[in-house]
Structure 1
Amino acid sequence: MNPSPTHFSRRSPPQLRNGVYELYWTFASRRQSAFEARLAGQSQPWTSDPILQVYKFCNVFRAADRVSQFMIKDVAYGQDAETTARDRVFQITAFRTFSNIATWESVTSELGGSPRLDHLRSGEFERALDRVKAQNGGLYTGAFILCANKAFGFDEKHRNHVALFKHMFLDHACAERVLQAPSLEAVVELLQGFPLMGPFMAYQTAIDLNYSELLDFSEDDYTQAGPGALRGLKKAFTNLGDYSPADTILWMVDRQDEEFRRLGLSFRGLFGRRLHGIDCQGLFCELDKYCREAVPQLTSARSRIKAKYSGSERNIDLFFPPKWQLPSSGVIRGSRPMSGERKRRQAMVAPLKSPKEVHEELAIADLFA
């Protein structure tokens, strides 16, 4: 359950790291503004922030990211008439395990429709994965760190996961238990009780299940900090006081309106939807990445941002859970990054701020004073 502000007030709060704490909110404002500029059809660059121009960062709102968008529209709300609620729980869990759109589309094509528990029971699902792996060369994305042990005795990772799904859904009625769960936390606890389902993957899967019409818990009822968020928390705060990482994330949820207003930052949310626990958790992960360029003196286990922005030629027809009742959506048009010449011409019209100037704006020089 989300602790109340009164509950928070009786405890020693997290101690802010001046400059970097503010950078959390500044990043959220700039990244969301870039999303809105792209949605409005503006040409690149969608931001004057040089770090955001060069490197790849997730959206401020998890549900707006490309893979989550596919999951919501094509998996959680897919239109396969033969899919039951139990099938849907399996589909969402399986999709998040691979987190790979190409894998899912190929498996669906191989099966002639969305994977169902009947396909899992008959072995058709596993055979489809075998064929897709042979064709595509791989099945997984690098977005999540998956448990790598051979829990079910197979050398190939996907065979262990197929065995896991059989264990979960055919042997231990996981779908039925998810559908009867009393809370988001209960769903996470159920999922992480199975082999290969670490705590953070269980949390991410529970959020995906909660996007669907099968569950309807508040995303602020429970949260969990992943490895990247833990690194971001260490950069934003000198210590967390009496708060756990999860408490601190929900503390940020409560403070968002006050902080955007205090810092004079524009933030309209996702068509009016506020940041929730899963979004504030993700923002700490993105803060950790952003600081590798903006505040390199704050070292951590990761010293550079691996992925540069590469663009995508695919359009994304935005679709969010209907139960959210968002007033608007739109289409994110596919694009490629600007050429070097185009960047040079753009810089002549509107010079971009260097990372050094960003540091100075945020009083980074006072970090260690």
Structure 2
Amino acid sequence: MSAIESGKRGRDDAAGDDSDSDVVLLSGPPSSASCLPAKRRRTLSAKAVALQGENGASRRATPTTASARPAAAPSCTNVPNAKTAATKSLEKVVKPKVLEIVVDGHNLRTTPVFDMFWRYAASRQELENRRRAGEKAPWTDDLILQKFRFCSVFRVSDAASQFLIREVIEKGSQAHDDVVFRVILFNIFTRIETFKTLDRRLGPLTWKGYDRAKFEGVLKDIENNGDSLYTGAFQKPAPKLGGSSNPENHLHLLEVLMRKEPNLVYVIKNCEYLADAYDWINCLPGMGDFTAHQLLLDLSYAGLNGKGLSRFHPSDFVVAGIGAVKGIEICYNGLTKGQEIAIMRWMCKNQTKMFARLGLAFDGLKAHGKSQLMHLCDIEHTLCEVYKYEKMVRSGAGKRDVAMGGKARKFEPKHTLEREATIPKAWSNPSRKVERVKPGKFERVGKEYVVKALLDRRPAKAKMKTKTNAGSNASAPVKYEYLVDWLGYGVGDRTWEPEEMLREDAPQMVDDFEREKRTK
């Protein structure tokens, strides 16, 4: 079960700005209440020690030339053999420094993996910065980062997000329906080649020009050619919405998002809080915490003339996915359930102090002459990456099968990165500078039933109780009941529903049904 945003912060500054926090630097090993087994805890402590000198100072790689090349960020595995280094460090009996922090009134103590998080972030970002600067590989001394593929520290700078910004959002029709339609279409598959093929065969891609049969035909051609439709980075489960295949069901979901009343475009432009848009998306069939959050983040790159989700502060909302929760569990002792969001906020707020504490030079994301610190969503997915990274460190840098169950992807860069990552134009919206976290406790929304079609009509058998303007109960006549075919459900699940309810939930469908009935 993933953790969802709750609570409220009383500040309106930018994400990542530091302020006073409850932090105590301690000496000695983690407390005996560690969430890690003792043997594993000793191994991790030893490997963390291997990253420091006798006096606790971080190691830095020596520049290979006399040029002004920046020093390498300390890597988590910048030694020929991680296990050998760990064994040698055990003999030194050097105790790592531990932090004791207070988050939402709870005392937490960090494990050695907490420091690994910051070292990993610095090393992974330095790799990207050097690659963008045009330096030759390898761009890091970290053996694991040299061999295996890990996501960018900044979500906005990864390949999929860069394509989404440049080719999906900022090119083509800027009508709000068309932009949102293209974002959903890309998000469904999250595969650049799939979107390119659809655009080449059926473009320009607009909501008005959408034809499900034509889209299904192109998707079948891609599959028949032996090519993948979906990303390999994570699973894209399809809802059961009446289609005969996953792609067909995903197209049905796209139609629900665009046609539901109110539709996604309306919700985006009119929601008071970012959490409200998330709730609306997450309640639909086939949507889960992770998939709803990913779509929310993709939509946050679109401006819609100042009315898009880009108007919200990047710290307004976040979801802790399963990987991030596991990452938090190995970074801290003394955890209690439900602290994940508060912990990620603390990490985001104190990131500059944490990098400085370890002597790490974290340049952040460079764009337009500025440097951006990690947003809340970047902390979340880097925790997920560190969870995977730590398993590889623990098992040895080369043992991918042990660490990742044979699923680790080799790092094989095939193209040159732009000098700077493209930042969404919509992020210049001044509204992003003000935090608006939804107040109160988060209430998980239930799944909605979506009307697929109205099949028949009959006179109502009873009257419904309604509220009058004076507030008292009164009986109001209900003219008709409609036979509803529910999206994703079978013939046996059809029900008769009162007109009053359908007028609230699906007024256009009622009007269309009545119009067709009059013309017959």
TM superposition score normalised by structure 2: 0.57
**Which has the larger strand fraction?**
2
Letter in 2 for 1:221: D
TM-superposed deviation, 1:323: 4.2
Cα 1:120–1:28 change in 2 (3 A) is same
Q: Secondary structure at the match of 1:264?
A: coil
The structural deviation recorded for 1:224 is 0.7
Structure 1 residues 89 and 23: CA distance shift in structure 2, 3 A: same
Structure 1 regions of 5+ residues with no counterpart?
Answer: 326-369
Distance in 2 separating the partners of 1:287 and 1:106: 34
Query: Which residue matches 2:105?
Result: 11
Distance 1:22 1:48 in 2: 18
DSSP-derived class of the 2:208 partner? helix
1:243 Cα offset (Å): 5.1
CA distance in 1, matches of 2:238, 2:280: 20
Name the counterpart of 2:153: 60
Contact persistence 1:87–1:117 (CA under 8 A): yes
Can you give the 5+ residue segments of structure 2 that lack an aligned partner in the other structure? 1-6, 11-18, 23-101, 397-401, 429-520
Following superposition, the deviation at residue 179 of structure 1 comes to 2.1
Task: Give the one of 195, 212, 215 matched to 1:125.
Answer: 215
TM superposition shift of 1:230? 1.7
- CA shift for structure 1 position 121: 5.1
Contact kept, 8 Å, 2:164 with 2:183, in 1: the verdict is yes
Report whether the alignment pairs 1:156 with 2:245.
yes
2:415 corresponds to which letter in structure 1?
E
What is the rounded CA distance, in whole Å, between the counterparts of 1:46 and 1:122 in structure 2? Answer: 45
TM-score by length of 1: 0.79
Aligned to 1:306: 408
Contact 1:2 1:220 in 2 (8 A): no
| The one of 166, 171, 183 aligned to 2:255 | 166
Query: Equivalents in 2 of 1:205, 1:159: separation in Å?
Result: 19
Deviations 1:173-212 (A, max 9, x none): 2222222222221121111111111111111111111111
> What secondary structure is seen at the aligned counterpart in 1 of 2:392?
helix
- 1:314–1:108: structure 2 CA closer, same or farther, 3 Å change rule? farther
What amino acid maps onto 2:403 in structure 1? Answer: S
Aligned residues: 316
* Corresponding position: 1:224 with 2:319: yes
Confirm whether residue 197 of structure 1 aligns to residue 287 of structure 2.
yes
Q: How does 1:257-336 map to 2 (within 5 A)?
A: 257-271=352-366, 272-296=371-395, 303-304=403-404, 306-313=408-415, 315-316=417-418, 318-324=421-427
Cα deviation 1:272-314 (Å, max 9, x = unaligned): 11111110001101101110121349xxxx9326111111135
Indicate the larger mover: 265-274 or 172-181. Answer: 172-181
Identity of aligned residues (%): 28
Counterpart residue number, 1:111: 202
More helix as a share of residues: 1
**1:278 maps to amino acid:** C
Give SS of 2:333's match: strand
In the aligned structure 2, how far is the partner of 1:279 from the partner of 1:49?
A: 21
Q: Deviation digits for residues 100-142 of structure 1, max 9, x if unmatched?
A: 00000000001132x2222335643333333333335331112
CA RMSD of the aligned region, Å? 2.4
1:141 aligns with 2:227: no
**Counterpart contact for 1:192–1:202, Cα < 8 Å:** yes
Q: Within 2, Cα distance between the matches of 1:284 and 1:10?
A: 20
Structure 1, 188-197 or 135-144: larger mean CA deviation: 135-144
Aligned AA (1:131)? D
Find the residue that maps to 1:15 and give its secondary structure.
strand
Computing the radius of gyration over CA atoms, which structure comes out larger, 1 or 2?
2
Deviation readout 1:27-54 (Å, 9 max, x if unpaired): 0011111111111111111011111111
CA distance change for structure 1 residues 109 and 254 in 2, over 3 Å: closer, same or farther? same
Measured at CA, do residues 314 and 30 of structure 1 come closer, stay the same or move farther in structure 2, by a change above 3 Å?
closer
